[in-house]
Amino acid sequence: MREKIKSKIFDLPELRNRIQVFRDRDSAGKVLVKMMIAYRKSKAIVIGVPAGGVAVAASLAKELQLSLDVAVVSKITLPWNSEAGYGAVAFDGTVKLNQELLSQLNLNEKEIQRGIEKTTQKINRRVKMFRGDQPLPIFSQNTTILVDDGLASGFTLLVAIEALRKAGSQHIILAVPTAHEESIERVIEKVEGIYCPNIRGGWQFAVADAYEYWYDIDEEEVIKILTEFNADSKKN
């Protein structure tokens, strides 16, 4: 990596290229806390990406005594594979298509538009479910700490970053427990800094490999995490 890029990346060398370094998402958040202690009790806003990123974000926000919100974003999945995506949609309607990937797929314009519409409906439903009618935070006045449980291709997070910029965020810090080094390089130019304790290289990468205990978080658990965090915040 170029020196200018390196200066914006904060990792833990002892965790580089290792797997199963975190027990679960909560413990991964606590590792990030130790790296980001300078933000404790600051005016920074922690923004979790549902679903898995919210668990990490809640752990981080709780320990650093920061406010917590969500940035709903979702990949546009292939008709025949719900795990693979060719683009993403963000909470504000921002749509970004992976043109390089689309050039290799046999999708027509109607299928692409159907995928965008389906994902937009999912986004709108989740925004209502997770945020209700709350206005967005005033991003322009604070540092935004964008959190997910891992960075694989980075495409979805790039869309989230673009939407946050449009919403007024001028200083975005990305906090992810694990990431592929190529994805780090792809995203770093779009943010002011990245905190990632577990950076890995190689041709094969899965976010789940960084965790001993991994499962897909559903919408009900996201609601539970947010509700419990808000209840604890009111007590304090």
pLDDT tens column, 183-235: 999 999 999 999 999 999 988 899 999 999 999 999 999 999 999 998 887 77
Mark whether 220 and 150 lie in a shared domain.
yes
Neighbours of 199 (CB within 10 A): 22
Both 224 and 144 in a single domain?
Answer: yes
The residue-averaged pLDDT of 47-64 equals 96
Residue type, 56: V
Do 101 and 143 fall within a single domain?
Answer: no
Residues 51 and 160 in one domain: yes
123 shares its domain with 22? no
> Is residue 119 a contact partner of residue 89, using CB atoms and an 8 Å limit?
yes
Identify whether residues 27 and 95 lie together within a single domain.
no
pLDDT surpassing 60 at residue 135: yes
Give the number of other CB atoms < 10 A from CB of residue 38: 8
**Is there a single domain that holds both residue 67 and residue 80?**
no
**Phi/psi at 46 (nearest 5 deg)?**
-90, 125
- Amino acid symbol at 106: N
Strand order in the sheet with 9-10: 9-10, 193-195, 172-175, 144-147, 45-48, 67-70
Please identify which residue in the block is written with the tokens 């109607």: 110
CATH of the domain at 154: 3.40.50.2020
Of 86, 102, 129, the residue at which a domain comes to its end is 129
The pLDDT-based confidence of 100 (bands split at 50, 70, 90) is confident
Strands 81-90 and 95-97 come out as antiparallel
Q: Is 212 found in the same domain as 155?
A: yes
- Considering the domain architecture, whether residues 8 and 54 belong to the same structural domain is answered as yes
Which residues of 49-131 form beta strands (DSSP E)? 67-70, 73-78, 81-90, 95-97
83 with 114, same domain? yes
Say yes or no to pLDDT of 3 above 70. no
Per-residue pLDDT at 153: 83
Q: Judge if 222 and 148 occupy the same domain.
A: yes
Q: Would you state the pLDDT for residue 140?
A: 86
Range of the domain at 80: 76-129
Place of tokens 């979805």: 156
Q: Check pLDDT > 60 for residue 168.
A: yes
**CA distance from start to end of the chain:** 43
Domain shared by 142 and 54, yes or no? yes
Whole-angstrom distance, CA of residue 58 vs CA of residue 54? 6
Average pLDDT, the chain: 91
Query: Tokens in use for 72?
Result: 């709903």
Task: State phi, psi for 129 to the nearest 5 degrees.
Answer: -70, -45
- Section 138-158 average pLDDT: 91
Q: What total number of domains does the chain contain?
A: 2
